[in-house]
């Protein structure tokens, strides 16, 4: 993890900004807060590596456009997007645009800190992830035809109910297939599963 990284929190809700800043500062991070994506982009760039934690739904410029701007700027920043319940398709799209991870509101301190620390370690682990490319291909081939169908739809951002409807199976059955896929792909979370699939070229 980079030394003394800066965490930039972007959310149009002042109470959310203050709460996140308090929690992150209590964990020892330097924090800067912004009420909008434009305010963040207009601020002088900070020196060194860091992580942006941004809401995905904001007025004027949403988290998706912010991701595009950061990506095109060439800045060495990891981005974690905060999503609301049911925003899985947006979260998947954000990861395809380069987000390190996503977390669903509401989340606890442990989830927040674990996600940010993983994001900060993301760049350093890039060479290791590249080395897993062949291993990932082997993991994908271990999936059954139905498990691969479920994986493809998860990567497309479909929730369990829609997957079940499309495959004519119950949401509970989808959950079982999803659990099997995550176990075989050695993913501990949906975001990790999506990230592995994107790296394998399944997006």
pLDDT tens by residue, 191-200: 788 878 876 7
Taking only the tens place, the pLDDT of each residue in 86-138 is: 677 888 888 888 888 888 888 999 999 999 998 888 755 554 555 555 677 78
Instruction: Mark whether 106 and 144 lie in a shared domain.
Output: no
Residue 121, pLDDT score: 85
Q: How far is CA 61 from CA 7, 29, 54, 79, 85, in A?
A: 20, 26, 11, 16, 20
Residue 191, pLDDT score: 79
Rounded CA separation 126/33 (Å):
28
Instruction: Mark whether 17 and 106 lie in a shared domain.
Output: yes
Sheet of 77-83, strands arranged across = 30-34, 6-10, 50-55, 77-83, 101-104
Residue percentage of the chain with pLDDT more than 70? 89
Question: What's the structural domain count of the chain?
Answer: 2
Domain that holds residue 185: 127-199
Cβ burial of 202 (10 Å; 0-12, 13-18, 19+) is: middle
The structure tokens listed for 124 are 């350093």
Taking only the tens place, the pLDDT of each residue in 57-82 is: 998 899 999 999 988 887 778 999 99
Residue 21, pLDDT score: 96
* pTM, two decimal places: 0.74
Compare 186 and 3 and report the one with higher pLDDT: 186
Residue after which a domain boundary falls, among 94, 124, 154: 124
pLDDT at position 49 over 70: no
- Does the residue 158 lie in any domain? yes
Taking only the tens place, the pLDDT of each residue in 25-36 is: 999 999 999 999
CATH of the domain at 83: 3.40.50.2300
Q: What is the mean pLDDT of residues 155-166?
A: 91
Instruction: Mark whether 46 and 99 lie in a shared domain.
Output: yes
User: Average pLDDT over the chain, rounded to whole?
Assistant: 86
CATH of the domain at 168: 1.10.10.10
Instruction: Mark whether 149 and 98 lie in a shared domain.
Output: no
Residue 127, pLDDT score: 43
Residue 132, pLDDT score: 58
Instruction: Mark whether 65 and 31 lie in a shared domain.
Output: yes
> What string of DSSP letters covers 84-132?
-TT-HHHHHHHHHTT-SEEEESS--HHHHHHHHHHHHTTTTTHHHHHHT
Instruction: Mark whether 170 and 86 lie in a shared domain.
Output: no
């Amino acid at each position: 993890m980079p030394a003394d990284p800066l965490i930039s929190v972007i959310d149009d809700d002042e109470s959310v900004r203050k709460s996140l800043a308090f929690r992150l500062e209590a964990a020892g991070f330097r924090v800067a807060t912004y009420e909008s994506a434009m305010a963040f982009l207009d601020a002088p760039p900070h020196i060194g590596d860091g992580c942006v934690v941004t809401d995905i739904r904001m007025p004027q410029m949403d988290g998706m456009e912010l991701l595009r701007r950061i990506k095109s700027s060439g800045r060495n920043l990891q981005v974690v997007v905060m999503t609301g319940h049911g925003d899985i398709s947006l979260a998947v799209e954000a990861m395809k645009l380069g987000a390190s991870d996503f977390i669903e509101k509401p989340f606890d301190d442990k989830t927040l800190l674990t996600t940010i620390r993983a994001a900060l370690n993301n760049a350093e682990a890039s060479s290791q992830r590249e080395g897993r490319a062949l291993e990932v291909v082997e993991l994908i081939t271990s999936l059954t035809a139905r498990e691969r169908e479920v994986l493809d739809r998860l990567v497309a951002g479909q929730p369990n109910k829609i997957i079940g409807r499309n495959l004519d199976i119950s949401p509970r059955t989808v959950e079982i297939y999803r659990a099997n896929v995550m176990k075989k792909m050695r993913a501990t979370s949906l975001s990790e599963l999506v990230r592995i699939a994107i790296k394998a070229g399944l997006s």
